Amino acid sequence: MKKDVVIVGGGCIGLMSAYCLQKSGRSVTVIEKGDITNGTSFGNAGLLSAFKKAPLSAPGAITDTIKLMLKGESPASVHPTLNLHLYKWLLKFAASSTEARLRRTLALFERYGQVSLDMYQSMVEDDGIDFHFRKDGLLMIYTEQATFDAKAAHCNDPKAYEILSKEKTKEYMPILNDKVIGSILLKENGHIDPGEMMLAVKKYLEEKGVEFLLNEEVERLEFEGSKVSKIRTSKDVYEAETFILSTGADDKLARQAKNKFMMTPAKGYSLTFKMDDALKPKTTSLFADLFIAMTPRRDTVRMTSKLELGTTNPSIVKKQIDSMNKNLAQYTNDFERRDVVEWSGFRPLTPNDIPILGFDENYENLVHATGLGWLGITFAPSIGKIINDVITVDKKNETNADILLFSSFFQG
């Protein structure tokens, strides 16, 4: 039987699209090649960091990275590759790092970040979906006086910022040593436990009748005229009114529909461990000069870092884990970590922090929802809402204001 909406990919973007479409009364099937517990949406830091936080493609990003590379502390690296697409991506990244774009991107981040925060809150409070969700700010910790002073000079709004001394910063993160300069609390941000959120939302959706086909990979799209007629998976063949591709950094299926999106996989790592409660960070914290995040969760703490381009190797490389630990150790006292779980995953990164959203330009019943880069968890609910709106209300990209503003189909 022909299905209504088939979503390929059960990461946070696929699940939030399912959540919004189900609420609109659509019948939804999610097809996921894994079991949703090991992908990028599961192992990330869980920061909800849309407010007052510069995009990756901010002016100065490249010089700052080069400075860190020279100090041996850079979280970013580019593997030598013959893949021309990556070099085009890097050129576009450099061209996007302008003041004009920065102002625009910050405004878009706040617009969609607020929608997402409100939706996460409503999921917890109104739908009774149980996951760790806190709106208690993001602590930006500085280890360089110059970057701290430069940022603090612009933090005049007491609703948005609190500037903290070294001693006050240590109250938030007791493991810090005296090399830390100070911190700035970006008060409007928050965090979740992304894995808990994914499992709880999946359970809620199943109870509402959403169908999950797990451990089933979509291998081929088939076309008839201007439509996707069916998809072939490792187990079966399905027809549907509408197909959504939310396959994260894996663009294999999008390419079958003749797309070559300006997106690249950006590998990152997380370490999740238990530590003494008294030493745990009080809120989610980001070492601004090192790109290392530490997020407190119910029973554990998660540390994340690294941004590797030019690799699709999924294995956990010990050198990268050692480098994360070495960089953190410079600014912390020794502390015991128990039951450490190492993880790596790929961000679907566009060069200008603008995602790929909306109807395909060649096939009228195919919708794309990817390219959320380092902020997929931050924006997932608002992306689900946009995808639902364009499918059920606007029915085309050109009449959906959010797609016009926040999709690389229009803002490339």
Ligand X SMILES: Cc1cc2nc3c(=O)[nH]c(=O)nc-3n(C[C@H](O)[C@H](O)[C@H](O)COP(=O)(O)OP(=O)(O)OC[C@H]3O[C@@H](n4cnc5c(N)ncnc54)[C@H](O)[C@@H]3O)c2cc1C
Residues at the interface with ligand X (CB under 6 A): 8-14, 31-34, 39-41, 44-47, 217-218, 246-250, 253, 268-270, 304, 345, 347-348, 370, 372-378
Q: Are 305 and 269 in contact (CB under 8 A)?
A: yes
- In the complex with ligand X, the residue whose CB is nearer, 20 or 47, is 47
Chain centroid to CA 358:
18
Report the nearest approach of ligand X to the CB of residue 206 (Å): 17
Report the nearest approach of ligand X to the CB of residue 253 (Å): 6
- In the complex with ligand X, the residue whose CB is nearer, 14 or 182, is 14
Report the nearest approach of ligand X to the CB of residue 264 (Å): 13
Token pair recorded at residue 390: 């364009």
Token pair recorded at residue 371: 């390219």
d(CA 117, CA 17): 16
- In the complex with ligand X, the residue whose CB is nearer, 156 or 315, is 315
Report the nearest approach of ligand X to the CB of residue 198 (Å): 9
- In the complex with ligand X, the residue whose CB is nearer, 34 or 412, is 34
- In the complex with ligand X, the residue whose CB is nearer, 248 or 296, is 248
- In the complex with ligand X, the residue whose CB is nearer, 98 or 256, is 256
Report the nearest approach of ligand X to the CB of residue 165 (Å): 26
Report the nearest approach of ligand X to the CB of residue 291 (Å): 10
d(CA 247, CA 11): 8
Q: Are 371 and 358 in contact (CB under 8 A)?
A: no
With a CB cutoff of 8 Å and minimum separation 6, the contacts of 95 are 351
- In the complex with ligand X, the residue whose CB is nearer, 149 or 222, is 222
Q: Taking the CA atoms of the chain, what radius of gyration do you get in angstroms?
A: 21
Q: Are 222 and 230 in contact (CB under 8 A)?
A: yes
Element (H, E) at 191: strand 190-192
- In the complex with ligand X, the residue whose CB is nearer, 247 or 408, is 247
Distance between terminal CA atoms of the chain?
38
What single-letter DSSP state applies at residue 164?
E
Q: In which residue are the tokens 């701290």 written?
A: 148
- In the complex with ligand X, the residue whose CB is nearer, 182 or 194, is 194
Question: Residue 385 phi/psi, 5° resolution?
Answer: -65, -45
The three-point CA angle 266-408-23 to 5° equals 90
Report the nearest approach of ligand X to the CB of residue 247 (Å): 4
Report the nearest approach of ligand X to the CB of residue 78 (Å): 16
- In the complex with ligand X, the residue whose CB is nearer, 148 or 374, is 374
Question: Residue 377 phi/psi, 5° resolution?
Answer: -70, -40
Cross-strand partners of 30: 7, 212
What single-letter DSSP state applies at residue 284?
E
Strands annotated E in 313-386: 338-349, 356-359, 366-370
Report the nearest approach of ligand X to the CB of residue 50 (Å): 8
Report the nearest approach of ligand X to the CB of residue 21 (Å): 15
Question: Residue 245 phi/psi, 5° resolution?
Answer: -100, 110
- The 3-state secondary structure of 199-210, one letter per residue: HHHHHHHHHCCC
